[in-house]
Amino acid sequence: MKNIKTIVLSNQEISPGYFRMKILSPGYCESAQPGQFVMFRVQRSLPPLLRRPFGIFRAGFLPADCDDMPAKEFIEIIYKVVGSGTEIMEGLHHGDPVELLGPLGEGFDLGAPEEEKILVGGGIGLVPLYMLAEKMVENSKVRLLMGGRTRDDIITVTEFERLGVETYVSTEDGSLGEEGLVTRVLERKLDKYPNAAVFACGPMPMIEAVQKICDSRGTSLQVSLEALMACGVGACLGCVVKGEGHSDAEPRYLCTCTSGPVFRAEELNWEKEAANNSECGGCK
Amino acid sequence: MSENKKIQPQMSVEVAGLKLKNPIMPASGTFGYGEEYAPYLDLNQLGAVVTKGMSLNPKAGNNTPRICETVSGMLNAIGLQNVGVDAFIKHKMAYLEQYDTPVIVNFFGNTQDEYGEVAARLDDVPGVSALEMNISCPNVKHGGIVFGTDPAAAFEVVSLVRKRTSKPLIVKLTPNVTDIQITARAAEEAGADALSLINTLTGMAVDVKTRKPRLANTIGGLSGPAIRPIAVRLVHQVVQAVKVPVIGIGGISRAMDALEFLIVGAKAVQVGTANFVDPNAMATIIADLEQFCCEEGIADINELIGSLEL
Ligand SMILES: Cc1cc2nc3c(=O)[nH]c(=O)nc-3n(C[C@H](O)[C@H](O)[C@H](O)COP(=O)(O)OP(=O)(O)OC[C@H]3O[C@@H](n4cnc5c(N)ncnc54)[C@H](O)[C@@H]3O)c2cc1C
Ligand SMILES: Cc1cc2nc3c(=O)[nH]c(=O)nc-3n(C[C@H](O)[C@H](O)[C@H](O)COP(=O)(O)O)c2cc1C
Ligand code: FES
């Protein structure tokens, strides 16, 4: 965990409204774990005031400049343009100064090697699953179920395929892959692979639906959540979610930034979360 | 700088009997219990550490959303979530004691008695250097009127706390009043050793699509660069009204911002929201303050304090 002042290496639109940014990130190849995130400072001046949280899509090494120089490290983030901060990010170019605080949070637990793995990604929720897949394919069978509203929301699927991940695409309007919700595909896959463990990230309504399915079947589930964040390090207490056993009399709040963003389903309080986060799920 | 004899300016200040290495400390609630920022910043560099507000019993805080960004600022309605004073003493103090930096513990209560009890429990904790009393809380026994907005209630609760602690007592004032000089004098007369201000300004933001308030609590507290001019004005007014030292707070993110407060007469300043933006903000401010003194030929930072030219 540290704050680095660094630069953008590249920033490209990969699908309408979705951008992929490569950032020079010393130290990340060793430290970044699947599911972790960064607090990204869009520019040194205001606005926007607060940093924006983004999942780490991938960490890697650039080709070395010359033989005896250590290879430079980068991370990639993929973001959807939704508001003031991401609109500014859209305009960043190679060489523009930015700041990264990270890698932050608790990532995914990789689970047992022999276990089948099903990853469920909804739209931009796909991002933290790539590094996870990279690690998992080394010793597990991995399937990715990728859902979106239209074909524009289906991103980087071929890259998962290149890792050897079996991918299944569904869109709500049927413009790519199967027509319908990704959760329907999940139910089918769980019928076929009842012992698989599920890892999900996406809009809250999708996560809730996935939780219901996994809960009813006793399937192991880890979810990556989003929350409004100011600090990203556990100081502001702005990003809390209700934990298992939470009640008004005995409240149990967990910080998404430090106890999450990845949680085991059984760590969370699902009844209350639905009402609370409906707004957040609706915005994406 | 091309000067050969580079002067090392004297940066330490004294507030309420506490000797601080420099006038920079975090604002309560923006720095956790200190530990959260230790990976990014050497806590030994700071003038003091100020911890998250403590209450007698653990407090759960408000529903989410609890925060919302606004133009050059943010609204928060965290609801003073904290582990409770006993757990704080047991689990959080030991960590802070390893540092050679004064620890100021912020606290609050829902009733006068609660204020008094928390203060009493912190009184014999060795590592606690001073108490900062947040009086921006609703008085549950009196229809929820905020202690700090009613000078009589402020006087009473500060007097009561004064009797229950021998530690230096800093009273943190709310800006949400018509005349802050009145509450400032009430707190001073009741025995405050220093005053700190400002706490957040009440504010509200609405999501125009859902037509709902952006905060679950509807109303929140505004902080960040947006509030700085108001904070500077209020500190200026309070400095005129009282003899006890004043700690300036509100929208400080750079050394130049801190200097404004020092020049109007604050003995020290607290940095809040800026920690979220840059976890290293306070270290940069401290270094830049020193640099400013060097460049301006100021041998002692105290020369600047209250040096406003009118
Ligand atoms: C752990 C984590 C990982 C994330 N990973 C990704 C990712 O890989 N790709 C991606 O596109 N988005 C991701 N998000 C969501 C991303 O942070 C928001 O889309 C982004 O902050 C929007 O900023 P904005 O200024 O464009 O929007 P605005 O609406 O103008 O932002 C206003 C404020 O609300 C916050 N905000 C708005 N939407 C969200 C949201 N959905 N989640 C959290 N905060 C929000 C902003 O940070 C800002 O403080 C992630 C969020 C979290 C918490
Ligand atoms: C997220 C958050 C939590 C806060 N919690 C407390 C608190 O527990 N006690 C308190 O006295 N002030 C609290 N404050 C107020 C700050 O200490 C400070 O007075 C205010 O934010 C103005 O300073 P700033 O503009 O530098 O942030 C909080 C502020 C924020 C933003
Ligand atoms: S974002 Fe500040 S505590 Fe999680």
Per DSSP, the residues of chain B read ---SS----B--EEETTEEESSSEEEPTTSSTTSGGGTTTS-GGGSS-EEPPPB-SS-B--PPSP-EEEETTEEEE-----B--HHHIIIIIHHHHHTSSS-EEEEE--SSHHHHHHHHHHHHT-TTEEEEEEE--SEEGGGTTEEGGGSHHHHHHHHHHHHHH--S-EEEEPPS-SS-HHHHHHHHHHTT-SEEEE--PEEE--EETTTTEESSTTS-EEEESGGGHHHHHHHHHHHHHH-SS-EEEESS--SHHHHHHHHHHT-SEEEE-THHHH-TTHHHHHHHHHHHHHHHHT-SBGGGTTT----
CB-CB contact of A170 with A145 (8 Å): yes
B67/A contact by beta carbon, under 8 A: yes
Whether the predicted pLDDT of A189 surpasses 70: yes
With CB atoms and an 8 Å threshold, state whether A235 touches B37.
Answer: yes
Q: What does the alpha-carbon distance between residue B94 and residue B100 come to, in Å, rounded to a whole number?
A: 12
Rounded percentage of chain B residues whose pLDDT exceeds 70: 97
Average pLDDT estimate for B20-46: 96
Hey, what are B204's tokens? 């509200």
User: pLDDT band at B1, cuts 50/70/90?
Assistant: very low
User: pLDDT band at B186, cuts 50/70/90?
Assistant: very high
Tell me the nearest-neighbour CA distance from B64 into chain A, angstroms.
7
CB-CB contact of B198 with B250 (8 Å): yes
Q: At what angle do helices B255-264 and B281-296 cross, to 10 degrees?
A: 60
pLDDT of residue A60: 94
Atom of ligand 1 lying closest to residue A56 CA = 8
Whether the predicted pLDDT of A108 surpasses 90: yes
Poorest-pLDDT segment among B74-83, B241-250, B257-266: B74-83
The set of protein residues with a Cβ atom below 6 angstroms from ligand 1 is A 37, 48, 50, 52-55, 77-80, 82-86, 124, 127, 226-229, 261, 280, 283-284; B 69
B254/A contact by beta carbon, under 8 A: no
Whether the predicted pLDDT of A46 surpasses 80: no
pLDDT of residue B5: 55
Task: Dump pLDDT digits (tens) for B269-309.
Answer: 999 999 999 999 999 999 999 999 999 999 999 999 999 99
Phi then psi dihedrals of residue B74, to 5 deg: -150, 155
Substitution target in A237, A240, A278 with the highest count of B β-carbons within 10 Å is: A237
User: pLDDT band at A278, cuts 50/70/90?
Assistant: very low
Task: Dump pLDDT digits (tens) for A112-169.
Answer: 888 999 999 999 999 999 999 999 999 999 999 999 999 999 999 999 999 999 999 9
pLDDT of residue A65: 72
- For residue A233, which residues of chain B lie inside 8 Å, CB to CB? 32, 36-37, 40, 279
Rounded percentage of chain A residues whose pLDDT exceeds 70: 95
Closest CA to B103 of B11, B28, B188: B28
pLDDT of residue A279: 40
- Atom 7 (ligand 1) nearest CA: A54
Q: What torsion, rounded to 10 degrees, do the Cα atoms A208, A40, B220, A237 define?
A: 60
Hey, what are B238's tokens? 């309070």
- For residue A50, which residues of chain B lie inside 8 Å, CB to CB? 69, 74, 276-277
pLDDT of residue B4: 47
Q: Which domains does chain A have, with CATH numbers?
A: 2-104 (2.40.30.10)
Q: What does the alpha-carbon distance between residue B53 and residue B106 come to, in Å, rounded to a whole number?
A: 5
Q: Find, in chain A, the residue whose alpha carbon is nearest to that of B77.
A: A238
Work out the burial of residue B178: count CB atoms within 10 Å of its CB; fewer than 13 is exposed, 13-18 middle, 19 or more buried. Answer: exposed
B129/A contact by beta carbon, under 8 A: no
B68/A contact by beta carbon, under 8 A: yes
With CB atoms and an 8 Å threshold, state whether A228 touches B76.
Answer: no
Tell me the nearest-neighbour CA distance from B219 into chain A, angstroms.
15
Q: C-alpha B169: how far from its chain's center?
A: 13
Query: Which are the contacts of B181, defined by CB distance < 8 A and separation ≥ 6?
Result: B237, B238, B240, B241
With CB atoms and an 8 Å threshold, state whether B72 touches A2.
Answer: no
Query: Which are the contacts of A111, defined by CB distance < 8 A and separation ≥ 6?
Result: A117, A136, A140, A197, A220
pLDDT of residue B6: 64
- Atom 17 (ligand 1) nearest CA: A53
pLDDT of residue A274: 45
Average pLDDT estimate for B67-79: 96
User: Residue A232 CA: which ligand is closest?
Assistant: 3
Whether the predicted pLDDT of A1 surpasses 90: no
With CB atoms and an 8 Å threshold, state whether A277 touches B64.
Answer: yes
- Strand pairing class (A37-41; A97-104): antiparallel
Task: Dump pLDDT digits (tens) for B74-127.
Answer: 999 999 999 899 999 999 999 999 999 999 999 999 999 999 999 999 999 999
- For residue B71, which residues of chain A lie inside 8 Å, CB to CB? 47
pTM: 0.94
Average pLDDT estimate for B251-262: 98
pLDDT, greater one: B226 or B140: B226
Rounded percentage of chain B residues whose pLDDT exceeds 90: 90
Which residues of B are marked as active site? 137
> What residues does B107 pair with on adjacent strands?
B54, B133
User: pLDDT band at A280, cuts 50/70/90?
Assistant: very low
Tell me the nearest-neighbour CA distance from B38 into chain A, angstroms.
10
Work out the burial of residue A231: count CB atoms within 10 Å of its CB; fewer than 13 is exposed, 13-18 middle, 19 or more buried. Answer: buried
Could you write out the three-class secondary structure of A16-83?
A: CCEEEEEEECCCHHHHCCCCCEEEEECCCCCCCCCCEEEECCEEEECCCCCCCCCCCEEEEEEEECCC
User: pLDDT band at A282, cuts 50/70/90?
Assistant: very low
CATH number of the B2-61+78-206+219-303 domain: 3.20.20.70
CB-CB contact of B6 with B294 (8 Å): yes
B129 Cβ below 6 A of ligand 2: no
Whether the predicted pLDDT of A106 surpasses 70: yes
Atom of ligand 1 lying closest to residue A54 CA = 5
pLDDT of residue B209: 95
In chain B, which among 32-51 make CB contacts under 8 A with chain A? 32, 36-37, 39-40
With CB atoms and an 8 Å threshold, state whether A1 touches B74.
Answer: no
Q: C-alpha A39: how far from its chain's center?
A: 13
With CB atoms and an 8 Å threshold, state whether B65 touches A228.
Answer: yes
Tell me the nearest-neighbour CA distance from A106 into chain B, angstroms.
15
pLDDT of residue B41: 95
Tell me which H or E stretch contains A13.
Answer: strand A2-15
Atom of ligand 2 lying closest to residue B197 CA = 19
With CB atoms and an 8 Å threshold, state whether B64 touches A46.
Answer: no
